[in-house]
A and B are shown apart, each in its own frame.
Chain A
């Protein structure tokens, strides 16, 4: 049974199904209730489950995320929505100091079935305070898991898997993906939550990406084929843990690696991917590992500059050609 739906609808359906299956699941955040969520992810749930399970919160990110931590200690499964990843900076104490630490510090006494969902990334002229990518900050926290669903199918799978898991998980959802359409097949065999997926097989080079830039990378790969370059595109789907096996297998085949991210390049998510694969595949590589990401500047409001500050299909194409040209040197 497969159908074409929007990404936000896939998240909505996942949440709805899990709330029906388990009455200890509840969601909270700014405008998630009566208003249905700023990206419509919780649409219809307030009417269906009532205010205790779909809770509109005050604008208090630190405490309502911490509320999720406290509730998760006693066998409830909170799904906290932070309106954008930028506001999550106010909730990092709850996420990093509490959710990621309590199970460990207690010597393994407590479960932490907490899900924190955050829209993020560069959308359209939202300016520097509403366009950030914070994956690098969260990746550096042992005890925390990070999923980055790219497709409708993954949005549905990964949110359901996150809710069912007893570990704290952050779901980073790109704001430009909510109203993208895709196929949801509820009967498909689920892929493990953190396994990377080869979105497009290829022979000449590997492009590793995640979230929205994984879609751009696939488009770039179709153009590269026109130029006679067969690019394999890997969608990581998860930034903690990272499925190194899938990445290493691909690099061993193609011997060329380009990493594409929307995170700022300096100490961004791609830095870790590049370092690890350079260590693991040094003798397999025929050209240096290349990173292509956002410029190291706060995102400008001006549309032309905003576009120029982050990877596009064209810039990915250019970066890929550069990797391959270095091979000939």
Chain B
């Protein structure tokens, strides 16, 4: 790992947090509607995994996918405009928050039916293997998705045919409002992969470096022909399941405990009332990104001024994205019909 990679990861985590908090604000002001599933708390997973991927790899994600798209390189403007339902959104306002797609960046979609990402991922993997290409597929899903039938069906086929798929479980401990011990007989998610002879490990998903290293190693094994791999990223979401969910089913003490290992340096953002203050965090121990930031500073890979600059830069990017989105026109019904019939070309139907 080099200095620019560390910087990029830190900056992406800051951007992810800033983007999502602004999305929440725009939602409360009525500029974004529908279901909005936010990512704060889980940033280290998307950032670590996607920085370890190649541009030629394919990404399949869930309905909590804004940050996956952002880290993959989809412009903040384009995502925010999609959340606003505007024509300049990455899906022209047809998909919305839960259905971000970017063909150019091989971002193969956000899927909002729990358990859909596996079959899409093995399909991509199958096509890659059939054509004998070097790419891999990264398949995201939550702990709540491992009890769908498609999990077992797809892992079986991936292992049976040695497909180049990396399964990444974002275990945030909750399927909507039900805690993992109340929804899963086996709560160590990674152990389920053993049923399909698939190499699997549990990773501290609050530690971006560990996430990065584990992903890098797993992708290398896939490219060497070892077949599908499985990583369980243990993480936590600070907010409710969606903006319609206050998350009241979670014990306060649990939320606080995980905030203490917040992957982001919220300690440096005192104005944000949603998160513990710098003092409070200092009182219970350090948070991971603060450690990360300190580590980089000790190694002289970054200085405090640069961190502050990064924060300013990402806030500017998000502000620009909101301005762009609010000025983008609404799509027309013609645009919707064009999207529906996009594959018809010159084909004569009747």
Verify if B129 is at the interface (C-beta below 8 Å from A): yes
Judge whether B127 and A57 touch: CB under 8 Å.
no
Q: Is the CB of A76 within 8 A of B120?
A: no
Q: Which of A80-112 contact B (CB under 8 A)?
A: 93-94, 97-98, 102-112
Identify the interface centre among A102, A108, A142, A166: most chain B CB within 10 Å of its CB.
Answer: A108
B130 contacts which chain A residues (CB < 8 A)? 26, 52-53, 71, 76
CA distance A192 to B89 in the complex (A): 36
A66 within 8 A of B: yes
Q: Is B119 a contact of A105 with CB atoms below 8 Å? A: no
Interface presence of B65 (CB below 8 A): no
Q: Is B212 an interface residue (CB 8 A)?
A: no
Nearest CB of chain A from residue B150's CB, rounded to whole Å: 5
List 29 interface pairs A-B (beta carbons < 8 Å), by A numbering: A52-B129, A57-B157, A60-B154, A62-B149, A62-B150, A64-B157, A66-B120, A67-B123, A69-B123, A70-B119, A70-B123, A71-B123, A74-B127, A97-B113, A98-B120, A102-B101, A106-B103, A107-B92, A109-B102, A109-B342, A110-B103, A112-B343, A113-B343, A167-B343, A192-B349, A194-B350, A195-B349, A195-B350, A245-B350
A243 at the binding interface (Cβ < 8 Å): yes
Which of A57, A69, A167 makes the CB contact (< 8 A) with B344? A167
Is B126 within 8 A of A104, CB to CB?
no
Bound: A4/B117 CA distance, A: 45
Knowing A73-B108, A105-B99, A107-B94 are in contact, say whether A97-B340 is a contact too (CB < 8 A). no
Residue of A nearest to B60 (CB): A70
Contacts of B108 in A (CB 8 A): 70, 73
The winner among B92, B119, B122, B124 for most chain A CB atoms within 10 A is: B119
Say yes or no for B30: interface residue by CB 8 A criterion: no
B317–chain A nearest beta-carbon distance, Å: 22
| Chain A residue contacts of B125, Cβ below 8 A | 70
Q: A62 is contacted by which of B119, B121, B127, B160 (Cβ under 8 Å)?
A: B119
Interchain CB contact under 8 A, B92 and A102 = no
Per-position 1/0 for A205-222, Cβ under 8 A of B: 000000000000000000
Contact of B92 among A55, A97, A108 (CB under 8 A): A108
Tell yes or no: A58 within 8 A of B by CB.
yes
Question: Could you tell me the distance between the alpha carbons of A69 and B121 in the complex, rounded to whole angstroms?
Answer: 9
- Please tell me if B189 contacts chain A, counting CB pairs below 8 Å: no
Top 5 A-B pairs ranked by shortest CB distance?
A: A70-B123, A66-B119, A108-B342, A107-B92, A63-B153
Q: Does B347 contact A (CB under 8 A)?
A: yes
The docked-state distance in angstroms from the alpha carbon of A193 to that of B95 is 29
Q: Which of A34-80 contact B (CB under 8 A)?
A: 52-53, 55, 57-58, 60, 62-76, 78
Q: Which chain B residues border A52 with CB–CB below 8 Å?
A: 129-130
Do residues A58 and B160 form an inter-chain contact, with CB atoms below 8 A?
yes
List the A residue with the shortest CB-CB distance to B139: A70
A280 to chain B, nearest CB (A): 15
Contact of B119 among A58, A67, A107 (CB under 8 A): A67
Q: CA separation between A65 and B95, bound complex, in Å?
A: 22
Give Cα distance in the complex from A193 to B344, angstroms: 13
**Assembled-state Cα–Cα distance A2/B168 (Å):** 54
The complex places the Cα of A58 from the Cα of B150 at a distance, in Å, of 12
List 19 extra interface pairs beyond A65-B119, A102-B101, CB under 8 A: A55-B161, A63-B122, A66-B118, A67-B123, A70-B123, A71-B123, A74-B58, A93-B116, A104-B94, A106-B101, A106-B339, A107-B89, A107-B94, A107-B339, A108-B339, A167-B344, A167-B347, A192-B349, A195-B350
Query: Which of B58, B121, B131, B342 has the most chain A CB within a 10 Å cutoff?
Result: B342
The reply on B91 being an interface residue by CB < 8 A is yes
Residues of A within 8 A of B122 (CB): 63, 66-67, 70
The CA-CA distance from A78 to B123 in the complex, in Å, is 10
Q: Which of A57, A103, A241 gathers the greatest number of chain B CB atoms within 10 Å?
A: A103
